[in-house]
Amino acid sequence: MTDQTQSRTVGAAPVGARDTETAARAVREMFTSIAPRYDLLNHVLSFNIDRLWWWRTARLFDSILTRPEARVLDLCCGTGDMTFALGKRARSGSARIMGADFSHAMLQRARMKGKGTTLRWIEADALRLPLPDASVDLVTSAFGFRNLADYDAGLREIARVLRPGGEFGILDFGEPKGLLGHAYRVYFKNILPAVGTLISGVRGPYAYLPASVERFPAPEEMLERVRQAGFTQASWTPYTLGIAGLYRGVKAG
């Protein structure tokens, strides 16, 4: 889906999607179809580096997470691993950490894994969050934001729920450059979809993954969009030679 007037990518567009509504539905169905094997595949295909990325992201927000009464939302939480990483660093019992996702099957797994914790789970679309304006101190999203049907609308919704001075961190895949980039692309575009399809038994999602990363705006463009959505201190930090990276921003006061 490309906005013809500005030729900017609007958002994710799985095969067959005609507009933002059909794109969102296709994304939800895709994640629902791989939910039973999602965790296993994640760890196998990332060689467990995903755990390091979640931990590294959560640690960066310690100053918010350790605040009493902190309100934290992990968007597109899936089976909850980023949410758990945030929960581990929130040392105050009064902090409220919430994970939100629109796939019931993914969220069900998060709920099961989170039994006995104080984490809360919300079944909701990231573009229409059931949260009041200016009610959250920190919004995170790990490998989820790229799947939104409208990136600018996603950033505006994050800005809406954040308090002035609140922060966001969006962790997602990148496209490493140079020789490593070349080797990585062979893995990401050929080996990963083949193994993913084999283990999950579902063909679409693991071909969609590299296509969606390729389609996602480059860091310079994303940072421009972040600023336009009303954030200051916009930054992007590469993780593991740019295989992943973290966008950050602060809601203008």
Residues engaged in binding ligand SAM (CB under 6 A): 24, 27-28, 31, 42, 76-78, 81-82, 101-103, 106, 125-127, 142-144, 147-148
Of the pair 41, 223, the CB lying nearest ligand SAM is at 41
Rounded least distance, CB 16 to ligand SAM, Å? 16
Question: In the bound complex, what is the minimum distance in angstroms from residue 144's beta carbon to ligand SAM?
Answer: 3
121 vs 231, which CB is nearer to ligand SAM?
121
CA-to-CA distance for 192 and 107, rounded, in angstroms?
24
- Our CB check for ligand SAM shows the closer of 51 and 182 to be 51
Distance of CA 194 to the CA centre of its chain: 23
Please report, as a single letter, which amino acid is at residue 110.
Answer: A
Least Cβ distance, residue 36 to ligand SAM (angstroms) = 13
Nearest distance in Å: CB 178, ligand SAM: 26
Q: Determine how β-strand 162-173 pairs with β-strand 231-239.
A: unpaired
Q: Which is nearer to ligand SAM, 117 or 232 (CB)?
A: 117
Range list of H helices, the chain = 20-34, 38-45, 49-60, 62-65, 81-89, 104-113, 151-161, 178-186, 192-200, 204-215, 219-228
**What distances in angstroms separate CA 44 from CA 39, 49, 198, one per listed residue?**
9, 9, 12
Q: Shortest Cβ distance from residue 82 to ligand SAM (Å)?
A: 5
**Identity (one letter) of the amino acid at 179?**
L
Judged by CB, which is closer to ligand SAM: 177, or 187?
Answer: 187
Nearer residue to ligand SAM within complex by CB, 48 or 68? 48
| Other CB atoms within 10 A of residue 71 CB | 20
Nearest to ligand SAM of 95, 212 (CB atom): 212
In angstroms, give the least distance from the CB of 143 to ligand SAM. 4
User: Phi/psi class of residue 48: alpha, beta or left (left: φ > 0; alpha: ψ in -120 to 50)?
Assistant: left
Q: Which residue is nearest to ligand SAM (CB)?
A: 78
* Residue 117 token pair: 């914790």
**Nearest to 75, CA basis, from 13, 178, 201, 160:** 160
Return the DSSP state at 143. S
The nearest distance, CB 150 to ligand SAM, in angstroms, is: 9
